[in-house]
Amino acid sequence: MKLTGVELRRIRMPLVAPFRTSFGTESRREVLLLRVVTADAEGWGECVAMAEPRYSAEYVDAAADVLRRFLVPALAERQRLDASAVAPALAPFAGHRMAKAALELAVLDAELRAEGRSLGHALGAVRDRVPCGVSVGIMGSVAELLDAVGGYLDAGYVRIKLKIEPGWDVEPVRAVRERFGDDVPLQVDANTAYTLADARHLARLDPFDLLLIEQPLAEDDLLGHVRLARIIRTPVCLDESITSARAAAAAITLGACSIVNIKPGRVGGYLEARRIHDVCAAHGVPVWAGGMLETGLGRAANVALAALPNFTLPGDTSASDRYYRTDVTPPFVLDGGHLAVPTGPGIGVDPVPAELDAVTTSTEWLPL
Ligand code: SMG
Ligand code: MG
């Protein structure tokens, strides 16, 4: 495939409600979209970096900068390029996995559209619909939380994830169990808010039969997670710590986690994400699809990934209306707690031009 150029497009979309985690509150999403143009097709990639470097070191202005200065020019040196060559071409540049993932996805989408193949098919999807969970932010009160959880259960979500932090953990979990019962699949996500000194406190979550606790400790604290996993009964799942298939293999082998959250942006792309899926499957470790408040473009790709065989837990692949009043693609709509895996070529969805233009704050064309 010969690339003609790459468009960087910034969009700004208000969230339907503020989303509070242990690291901050998001009220709107600043997204960087990539459109790769080739002689035969165009392809879209969504960069999941946020406006500020809180979830990870990456942030959206830095992603645009590294793409413009280093990553896109590195592809220009290749006469012919297919998607499997993108990560090797970008490997000389350290880090910036979210920026790399977006560029790889855009090239992959263009390639698959030119071939008339769907991303799900290309990745090895075995399902045509995926079960969906929802991630529920930290609220001002337990009453507000119960209202929100009740609304999501009514909408059909098959699993609830509560964001937690010190001071908002055992009580909200207890309240959700008391109101909605023991049968609701329930898990929590701390986004690194605790230390190993909190192990006894986190063990107080044991009686609530949670599916998992996600990333209780710091990103680089694998040893801490090993120790914590020996103290608490709730299975430990890692998100921020799993930056590659190698990191996943190490975490599993050390006993730092027994479940893995897979986000392609965090690991440098969908092809590395599939390798993590395979490594986990080989170890008998279940995986599930994480989310980064994606628009319909990134969501389409995440839903395709979530259709792989070892994605045995519901993902943070919620419907468009969980995030946005108007999506940039035709909306993803929940059907019996599931989203349909797109079947069209590539990611299988296209932006609606008027919707996309309405939220665009800038565009920049990088010729190759
Ligand atoms: O896309 O539904 C979504 C958000 C899921 O909780 C979610 N993501 O750590 O897993 C996580 C967070 C990271 C983004 S929070 C702004
Ligand atoms: Mg997480």
On the CB side of 320, CA atoms within 13 Å amount to: 16
Instruction: Determine the pLDDT at residue 280.
Output: 98
Tokens of 12: 């700004």
The domains located in the chain, with CATH, are 3-116+350-367 (3.30.390.10), 121-340 (3.20.20.120)
Give distance in angstroms: CA of 35 to centre of ligand 2. Answer: 27
Number of the ligand closest to the Cα of 320:
1
Instruction: Determine the pLDDT at residue 80.
Output: 80
Q: Just list the catalytic residues.
A: 163, 263
CB-defined site of ligand 1, < 6 Å? 19, 21, 26, 55, 135, 189, 191, 239, 290-293, 316, 318
Q: How far apart are CA 189 and CA 184, in angstroms?
A: 16
What are the per-10-residue average pLDDT scores of the chain (368 residues)? 95 98 97 96 98 98 98 88 95 98 98 98 98 98 98 98 98 98 98 98 98 98 98 98 98 98 98 98 98 98 98 98 98 98 98 98 96
Instruction: Determine the pLDDT at residue 78.
Output: 80
Q: How far apart are CA 101 and CA 48, in angstroms?
A: 9
Q: How far apart are CA 186 and CA 160, in angstroms?
A: 5
Instruction: Determine the pLDDT at residue 172.
Output: 98
Number of the ligand closest to the Cα of 292:
1
Instruction: Determine the pLDDT at residue 15.
Output: 98
Give distance in angstroms: CA of 63 to centre of ligand 2. Answer: 20
Give distance in angstroms: CA of 139 to centre of ligand 2. Answer: 17
Q: Is 152 exposed, middle or buried (0-12, 13-18, 19+ CB in 10 A)?
A: buried
Tell me which residue of 120, 105, 133 sits closest to 42, measured CA to CA. 105
Instruction: Determine the pLDDT at residue 171.
Output: 98
